Structure 1
Amino acid sequence: MLSRIKIVLLAILAITITSCEEDFLDTTPTDAIAAADAFANEENMQLVLNGLHRGLYSQSQTIFPGGNTARAGNHYWVPLGDNLTGGLIHSASANNLGWRTEMQWLSHTDPFSLTNEILWYHRYNIIAGSNGLINNGTNGSLTETPTLNTILGQAYTYRAYAYLSLVQHYARGYLIGNPSADPGVPILFSSEAPFTSAPRSTVQEVYDLIEADLDEAIRLFQIGSPRPSGGADTKSQLNINVAYGLKARMALSTGDWQTAADNAVLARDGFPLMNEADWLSGFNTNNLSEVIWGSNVIDAETTFFRS
């Protein structure tokens, strides 16, 4: 009897050991994906791009361990910018998401300001994702197709958008300083950690990169697949009109008025002016005719209760 028990125990032990061999265990994490897999094909690259779209309205703690629930991506930055430039008047001391405090113009001198830190991190998060798409989409491992060109066009546009935001917030204005000498922001081309870069590039160097990225984006959009039409959700995808619009904004910042005007005309092509009813509708939908680019907020994927 004892010998039989020993035989059974040895058999169980052998099965257990065999079951634990490395080739049996699934070591792939369920909450992450390797970079090689993320950029292995157009379908996966589109998913990465969709992540950048979602990041525009996600609360900052979803992409930044030290984030804050009050700073829900562009839901915070866009109206804050309107406040800082005097486009809105908000005198109440409550229910203002901190905008009244920001309007006192104190955060920009505070090296520990969470607002400064989160905007910086979020824009470089966009740059890192864009770099991943650009670096892997142009290294020759994928066959060039109209779909790939459109994905890369969006990536270049996103990178230009992020750098334009950074240089406008963290450097002296182009028209009031010396852009060839004034420190701008670090230019980063890495797509994986460790993220290293040269010291702060000059304002001019940053603007040169923005212009080059937008020109490349426009070229790629011209030979890429057109943005789908027919619904508000498609406007979360960037297209050639968005690139033209950002180039117009960049030109306004540098005082190149003719380039700004020319690209503004190109940007609004196909987007007729809204009528009076549209202006009074509340601006709560991407279906408005003047909306060229807007987030398609998916309720089930948000982590906050704001609408």
Structure 2
Amino acid sequence: MKIYQLCLCVCLVLLASCDDYLDIKPKGVVIPDKCEDYESLLNYAQLMKASDSYPNYLTDDVFLPYEDDLTGGYVSLVLPNQRLYTFDSEVFGDGESDGLWEYSYNRIYTYNVIIEDVMGSTQATEEHKKQVRAEALMGRAFEYLTLVNAYAKHYDPATADTDPGVPLMLDKNINKTNLTRATVQSVYDQIKADLDEAALNLPEKPVLNAFRASKPVGYGMLARMYLYMGNYEKALENAKIALEHNSTLLNILPYKVTDPEKWIGRINVPARADNPENIYIRLAPWVFGMTLNTYGSEDLMALYDKEKDQRYLLYFTRYIGGYDCEYDAWAPYIYANMAMSTPEIYLIAAECEARIGSKDKAMEYINTLRDNRIFDNVPLVAGSNKDALKMVLDERRRELTLLGCTRLIDLKRLNREPEFAKTIVHEVNGVEYKLEPNSPKYILPIPPTVLRFNPDMVPNIR
């Protein structure tokens, strides 16, 4: 069965969900029935994507000149991204769409069809049907973990029961009206329930490739969730389980810039499923992510050893395709994986060890990663857990540069700790714009079109 037929079927099922008691199948269309039909939906092209890159314009990792021949500069940004870069209160106008919100809920609807119906499908064992359901639960949890951290206050156990989160859509009915926002706690409870079930039934290794979920991803996503919640014991526990299932790192030291005159193909680092670190792959809407959309900020660039760190030498450049750059351009031209990789799990384990465990164990995780990133790496040594935590967070920023909402979420959670709170400054045409710690502008606005059709939905006041 062709995947486009199945996707059409999903749309028909969704649109007719309130009349399914009629038991009428449209002529010429095959409604998903067999387990393999639902499994094919997991390969739907839209499910291969996730998140978005634009939240990076709010962060301290980006720098844009006002005008620029290479990146286009600030003046070339679409209006919503200009407003983010200057920390405006309003971001999206009535005629402007928010792809992060819209496509996330689009994918959630498809996952809901699988979750709701696959156990009643035919021609498969119960174990196989549970595995397919587990992959859909994994995908839905991943989407909601991104959404609640982008459009709501960061998780605070003291206020999560009352802080507005995002709407929880948990079935295939798209005819609901006047939606409201579930609390942050309710969203996290649902994420946990989905991930707990998924982790039990996911396969040890992905089906076909890492676009499909497996056990290390289930436990890795639980580790991420608990890290965001500030439950470092549970985050560490799940990170360790994930690494027991898959601890593969790619040594990027042998790779190189093969042709600085090229754009795509300028470096030979493997991407997507060819990179064994990518244990769960979801691509950015623009598959190369922030590539050549920005320069690294002075603050970010100061973190790299520009002579020995391959992440700088490969992914940033002062020359590309005939252009000499005054600043360090972000130009990896590698498919940006917005989902999960083994380095992130090492970093979660290291951060949790630094916070509640052993500084030496934290450094062991970090140095294992750095041995695969830095020429002649001299192992880092921490004098205290506090020193270890600072080193881990710096390494996290170097490793997860410009990936989706990662830095925005990290800023939100770290701003609650006085020693890590910071004011971000962007300059545009000689004017400085500042984003203070814990500002409500760190929270993305609910799209105006959503608010217009759901008058009881509480907006984010920025």
Larger radius of gyration: 1
The count of aligned residue pairs is 245
The CA distance in 2 between the partners of 1:49 and 1:195, in whole Å, is 24
92 and 252 in structure 1: CA distance in 2 versus 1, 3 angstrom threshold? farther
Alignment-derived partner of residue 94 in structure 2: 112
The CA distance in 2 between the partners of 1:248 and 1:262, in whole Å, is 8
2:197 aligned partner, one-letter code: E
Deviation at 1:124, TM superposition (A): 1.0
2:36 counterpart of 1:43: yes
In structure 1, the residue corresponding to 2:155 is in which secondary structure? coil
The CA distance in 2 between the partners of 1:158 and 1:31, in whole Å, is 17
For the 8 Å contact 2:204–2:214, the answer to whether it is kept is: no
The CA distance in 2 between the partners of 1:153 and 1:210, in whole Å, is 13
Question: Aligned ranges for residues 85-104 of structure 1 at < 5 Å?
Answer: 85-91=59-65, 93=67, 94=72, 98=78, 99=81, 101-104=83-86
1:213 aligned partner, one-letter code: D
Could you tell me the TM-score, scaled by structure 1's length?
Answer: 0.67
Sequence identity percentage: 24
Please point out which of 294, 299, 304 is paired with 2:281. 294
Alpha-carbon deviations, 1:198-252, whole Å to 9, x = none? 521111011000000000101221xx574246xxxx1111112222222111111
Aligned-pair Cα RMSD in Å: 3.4
Higher relative contact order (CA 8 A, sep 6+): 2
Alignment-derived partner of residue 17 in structure 2: none
2:36 aligned partner, one-letter code: E
Between stretches 161-170 and 280-289, larger displacement belongs to 280-289
Between stretches 204-213 and 158-167, larger displacement belongs to 158-167
1:44 aligned partner, one-letter code: D
Structure 2 residue runs of 5 or longer lacking an equivalent are: 14-24, 257-267, 285-332, 336-462
Structure 1 residue runs of 5 or longer lacking an equivalent are: 1-28, 58-72, 298-305
Please point out which of 152, 162, 165 is paired with 2:143. 162
286 and 226 in structure 1: CA distance in 2 versus 1, 3 angstrom threshold? closer
2:106 counterpart of 1:125: yes
1:209 aligned partner, one-letter code: Q
Alignment-derived partner of residue 7 in structure 1: none
Question: Aligned ranges for residues 1-307 of structure 1 at < 5 Å?
Answer: 32-33=8-9, 34-35=12-13, 37-51=30-44, 53-57=45-49, 74=51, 77=52, 79-91=53-65, 93=67, 94=72, 98=78, 99=81, 101-106=83-88, 110=92, 112=94, 114=96, 117-139=98-120, 144-175=125-156, 178-196=159-177, 199-221=180-202, 224=203, 226-228=205-207, 234-268=209-243, 269-277=245-253, 281-282=268-269, 284-295=271-282
Alpha-carbon deviations, 1:64-102, whole Å to 9, x = none? xxxxxxxxx64xx1x434443323434464267645553
Deviation at 1:132, TM superposition (A): 0.5
184 and 279 in structure 1: CA distance in 2 versus 1, 3 angstrom threshold? farther
In structure 1, the residue corresponding to 2:226 is in which secondary structure? helix
1:254 aligned partner, one-letter code: M
2:85 aligned partner, one-letter code: M
Q: Hey, which of these two has a bigger chunk of helix by percent?
A: 1
Q: Hey, which of these two has a bigger chunk of strand by percent?
A: 2
In structure 1, the residue corresponding to 2:278 is in which secondary structure? coil
The CA distance in 2 between the partners of 1:48 and 1:295, in whole Å, is 15
Deviation at 1:106, TM superposition (A): 2.8
30 and 189 in structure 1: CA distance in 2 versus 1, 3 angstrom threshold? closer
Between stretches 128-137 and 240-249, larger displacement belongs to 240-249
The CA distance in 1 between the partners of 2:31 and 2:153, in whole Å, is 37
